[in-house]
């Protein structure tokens, strides 16, 4: 088996490293020639994963034609750029097994990763790789377990091929449920970060996580997913990790907002666009997602943090 990773961000680099460390042939594609040079000559992604030593077996390229020669391709692009990439390169991706590693909902189409793969690469085998795993942990050889979602008959083989010595994959055929868990936990993480940044306490964070998880399951049911999928690694597992560590870009974004700081605009925070996309989706569908709608309004500057807290606390009391 040959593996390519499209996208040399921190997570893409970490996944590529986990395969290369097991002695597999891995190619990672990067737009930047500087990143390609750093990975190939210094064995380090100095711009996205500085200080992490990469295997000499990991080879970087800026040639998409070269990178797409592999039969298994991990799509590690930012969610808001995935659709455009698939549209522009669909010829190169024909007949491949494409594993979406993005976590979010596209703002333009209100679509998740699996829908974009099926739309722009209909003759490919689509899959979703998601769950709790910080890039530095994975690249540093620390263990984790994640979810591989694939409805194709080849899924068990793919599970074996993509598991590594540090990434244990659990299989599901519920692609929508798995991708929703990865997308929506980022929204909840922003809210949790804001709560802690504002000094509202651990109890408030626990409440936000719990009610946020309820929203995740509610939307999953509406979109035809199995809500139990979200009790696994792709939902509850990823939610727990992302809402409790400043390694999470979404949590850090929320923390900065809560502390009255300006979040770093150079850092991709998938939960911002996802909150806005899901708020539109929920409004159109008549699904009540108050936490998500509050995060969307907060990130757009439509409400202050004080107004956000007041709005959530003043909602009518009801059964859990």
- Put the strands of the sheet holding 144-149 in their side by side order: 58-61, 26-29, 3-6, 72-75, 97-100, 125-130, 144-149, 167-172
For tokens 């009391």, the residue is 317
Instruction: Given the residues 96, 103, 185, 252, select the one marked as catalytic.
Output: 185
Measured over all CA atoms, what is the biggest interatomic distance in the chain, rounded to whole angstroms? 60
The interaxial angle of helices 290-299 and 175-197, nearest 10 deg, is 60
Is 117 within 8 Å of 289 (Cβ atoms)? Answer: no
CA distances to 22, 52, 117 from 156, rounded to whole Å, are 20, 31, 20
Please enumerate in sequence order all residues whose Cβ is within 8 A of that of 68, keeping only pairs 6 or more positions apart, or say none: 4, 6, 89, 92, 93, 96
Is 138 within 8 Å of 164 (Cβ atoms)? Answer: no
- Among 153, 212, 161, CA closest to 22: 161
DSSP state of 229: G
Judge whether 185 counts as a catalytic residue. Answer: yes
Residues designated catalytic? 185
């Amino acid at each position: 088996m040959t593996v390519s990773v499209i996208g040399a961000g921190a997570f893409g680099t970490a996944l590529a490293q986990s395969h290369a460390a097991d002695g597999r042939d891995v190619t990672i594609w990067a737009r930047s020639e500087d990143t390609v040079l750093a990975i190939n000559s210094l064995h380090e992604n100095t711009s996205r994963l500085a200080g992490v030593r990469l295997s000499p077996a990991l080879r970087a390229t800026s040639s998409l034609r070269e990178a797409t020669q592999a039969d298994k391709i991990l799509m590690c692009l930012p969610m808001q750029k995935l659709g455009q990439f698939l549209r522009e390169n669909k010829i190169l991706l024909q007949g491949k097994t494409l594993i979406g590693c993005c976590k979010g909902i596209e703002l333009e189409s209100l679509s998740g990763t699996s829908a974009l793969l099926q739309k722009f690469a209909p003759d490919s085998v689509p899959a979703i790789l998601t769950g709790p795993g910080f890039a530095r942990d994975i690249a540093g050889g620390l263990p984790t377990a994640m979810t591989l979602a694939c409805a194709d008959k080849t899924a068990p083989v793919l599970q074996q091929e993509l598991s590594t010595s540090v990434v244990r994959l659990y299989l599901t055929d519920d692609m929508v449920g798995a991708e929703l868990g990865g997308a929506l936990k980022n929204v909840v993480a922003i809210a949790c970060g804001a709560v802690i940044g504002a000094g509202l306490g651990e109890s408030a964070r626990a409440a936000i996580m719990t009610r946020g998880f309820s929203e995740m399951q509610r939307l999953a049911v509406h979109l035809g997913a199995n809500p139990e999928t979200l009790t696994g690694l792709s939902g509850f597992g990823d939610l727990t990790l992302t809402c409790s560590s400043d390694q999470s870009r979404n949590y850090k974004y929320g923390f900065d907002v809560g502390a009255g700081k300006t979040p770093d605009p150079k850092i991709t925070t998938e939960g911002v666009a996802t909150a806005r996309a899901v708020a539109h989706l929920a409004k159109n569908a008549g699904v009540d997602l108050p936490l998500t709608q509050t995060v969307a309004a907060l990130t757009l500057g439509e409400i202050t943090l004080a107004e956000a807290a007041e709005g959530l606390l003043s909602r009518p009391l009801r059964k859990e």
